[in-house]
Amino acid sequence: MKRIIAFLLAAVMLFSISACSNQENTPKEPQTAAKTGLTMGYTTEPEGLDPQRTAAASTFSVTNNIYDTLVSVTSDWEITPRLAKEWNVSENGMEITFTLRDDVYFHNGRQMTAKDVEYSFNRLKDAESPKAKDYDNIVKIETVDDYNIKFTTETLDVELLKRFAYPWTAIVPEEAADNLKTAPVGTGAFKLKEWNPQQNLTLERNDNYFGEKAKLETVKLVLIPDATSMMASFQVGDLDIIPLTGDQVTMVENNEAYQVISEPMNAVQILSINTDNEILKNEKVRQAMAIAINKDEVIEASMFGYGDKIGSHLPPTSPDYYDTNNMIEYNPEKAKELLKEAGYENGFDINMTLPKNYQLHVDAGQVIADQLGKIGINVKIEIVEWGTWLSDVYTAKKFDTTVVGHTGRLDSYAFLARYKSDSNDYISLKTGEVDQLLADALKELDESKRKEIYKQIQVILAEKLPAIYLQTPRTMLALQKDVQGMEIFPIDVYDFSTVSFAE
């Protein structure tokens, strides 16, 4: 009996020890770690990954993360150091010298020097570069030493610094230049990991980056041309960020699982007017048309309300923007009076040519045609392919009116120079009121005085109306609630180096 009791006690003790041991070794629920890989949807395939051999915005949104430029622009339009740690502009404003960082390495392991900057800008200015003409004013590029480089212009350009912030001014290594389209080598915070054309593209973090390392290990961009399919993928959690169209905002804006960020584009949508037309050259006719247009209705119809009214050819985000909307207020009765004064009491017929590929402009044009019809202007709409629009309207100037957008640069002069009387653009102010002001703006080194000049130009445009200024549409992104650090910039780039997931 004693032996049986001893055996039972031993068994109980063994069971107890085993139970305790199993309890101690039971794995605890793992704590959720922050995600390190982001997936974003996009609608247009990059046109290669060589920043100096394309003009496609779809390319620059990617290459901005693979390459670096001498300076950057923030979401607030401020120019900040990037590859250049500082710069100096000569007293006459026609020379700018950049001092480069000495700790920058290309993805192939070679250190970057001023020779690489010289090579990259000569490559940007050569015949194969779509942006070469923009840099014609730079007539000399001089390597001072390994970390200093000087650019000299033929004429004064007070906005010269801003030209070094665009993504096509990326610095590339000469030894890799022939293959940059598919095998990019830059100095950026990310490197290309994989690209499956017409499917997806993956970037991986560059752990040898000179600046603060990216928080994300990978960024995967997935091509989904159809907006409905992209939204479905976002809603089931397959995508962390997607671009939004105006009609989709209501699907996500009141859902706590998502975020929406929205900023005015660095762009303007205008009703362009051919002032060579015998009727449309009459200033009172153009003024009547302008105040017969209800911009709020145009924005609602074309952008579901996600646009900002403008009164001139600058977006409201521009530091030089001056609000002239109160000079062109909606007033259809007054519009009829102006038509009568101009000799067109019974109205007239005009054509409106709209680019088929841009639904934003087609929708806006159809609303405008209806509004102009209410004051007796009969608008005949013709919708054409983009190539036809470029050849017939933009180049040959065979049109009466058209609705189109103009994407901008960081300097106001680039936006407004098309209104010079001798401009070869498809719109201009042929009577010459802004010619001298534009010339003065190019030479004025004082920023506040230059801002006043641009204000005067915008007031003249609101009075003379060589075009009718409609809206700046908004760029909108939908993000999952745990995404942080994503920003919208005034040029066509994304910057994933500051993006992360909340823990």
pLDDT higher than 60, residue 32: no
- Calculate mean pLDDT across residues 55-73: 94
Where does the pLDDT of residue 56 fall: very low under 50, low under 70, confident under 90, or very high at 90 and above?
Answer: confident
pLDDT digits (tens, 9 = 90+) for 232-264: 999 999 999 999 988 899 899 899 999 999 999
Question: Are 424 and 292 within one domain?
Answer: yes
pLDDT digits (tens, 9 = 90+) for 458-494: 999 999 999 999 999 999 999 999 999 999 999 989 9
**CATH number of the domain enclosing 73:** 3.90.76.10
pLDDT higher than 70, residue 21: no
Question: Are 247 and 284 within one domain?
Answer: no
Question: Are 93 and 135 within one domain?
Answer: yes
Number of domains the chain is built from: 3
- The answer to whether residue 162 sits within a structural domain is yes
pLDDT digits (tens, 9 = 90+) for 397-434: 999 999 999 887 899 998 999 999 998 889 889 999 99
Please state, rounded to an integer, the average pLDDT across all residues of the chain: 91
- The answer to whether residue 358 sits within a structural domain is yes
- The answer to whether residue 153 sits within a structural domain is yes
What is the structure's pLDDT at 129? 94
pLDDT higher than 50, residue 184: yes
Question: Are 297 and 384 within one domain?
Answer: yes
Establish how many alpha carbons lie within 13 A of residue 205's alpha carbon, considering only the half-sphere containing its beta carbon.
Answer: 18
Alpha-carbon span 154 to 140, nearest angstrom? 9
- The answer to whether residue 246 sits within a structural domain is yes
Question: Are 234 and 353 within one domain?
Answer: no
Residue 258: is it exposed, middle or buried by C-beta count within 10 angstroms (0-12/13-18/19+)?
middle
What is the structure's pLDDT at 55? 85
**CATH number of the domain enclosing 428:** 3.10.105.10
Where does the pLDDT of residue 113 fall: very low under 50, low under 70, confident under 90, or very high at 90 and above?
Answer: very high
* Boundary residue ending a domain (125, 150, 179): 179
pTM of the model: 0.82
- Calculate mean pLDDT across residues 176-187: 98
What is the structure's pLDDT at 346? 95
CA distances from 261 to 211, 342, 479, 481, 493 (A): 26, 46, 8, 11, 15
Question: Are 413 and 276 within one domain?
Answer: yes
As a whole-number percent, the residues of the chain with pLDDT over 70 amount to 93
Question: Are 257 and 285 within one domain?
Answer: no
* Boundary residue ending a domain (133, 157, 179): 179
Alpha-carbon span 135 to 445, nearest angstrom? 20
Residue 185: is it exposed, middle or buried by C-beta count within 10 angstroms (0-12/13-18/19+)?
buried
Question: Are 491 and 381 within one domain?
Answer: no
What is the structure's pLDDT at 33? 60
Question: Are 410 and 312 within one domain?
Answer: yes
Domain hosting 338: range is: 267-474
pLDDT higher than 90, residue 59: yes
Alpha-carbon span 52 to 169, nearest angstrom? 7
Following DSSP, what letter does each residue of 432-474 receive, concatenated?
Answer: -TTHHHHHHHHH---HHHHHHHHHHHHHHHHHH-SEEEEEEEE
Round the CA-based radius of gyration of the chain to a whole number and report it.
Answer: 29
Establish how many alpha carbons lie within 13 A of residue 325's alpha carbon, considering only the half-sphere containing its beta carbon.
Answer: 16
pLDDT higher than 90, residue 198: yes
Question: Are 467 and 493 within one domain?
Answer: no
- Calculate mean pLDDT across residues 147-168: 95
pLDDT digits (tens, 9 = 90+) for 379-390: 999 999 988 998
Alpha-carbon span 433 to 419, nearest angstrom? 9
State whether residue 406 is helix, strand or coil: strand
Question: Are 301 and 360 within one domain?
Answer: yes
- The answer to whether residue 14 sits within a structural domain is no
Alpha-carbon span 258 to 272, nearest angstrom? 38
- Calculate mean pLDDT across residues 287-305: 96
**CATH number of the domain enclosing 218:** 3.40.190.10
* Boundary residue ending a domain (179, 200, 231): 179
DSSP-assigned letter for residue 21: H
- The answer to whether residue 483 sits within a structural domain is yes
- The answer to whether residue 374 sits within a structural domain is yes
- The answer to whether residue 5 sits within a structural domain is no
Question: Are 202 and 87 within one domain?
Answer: no
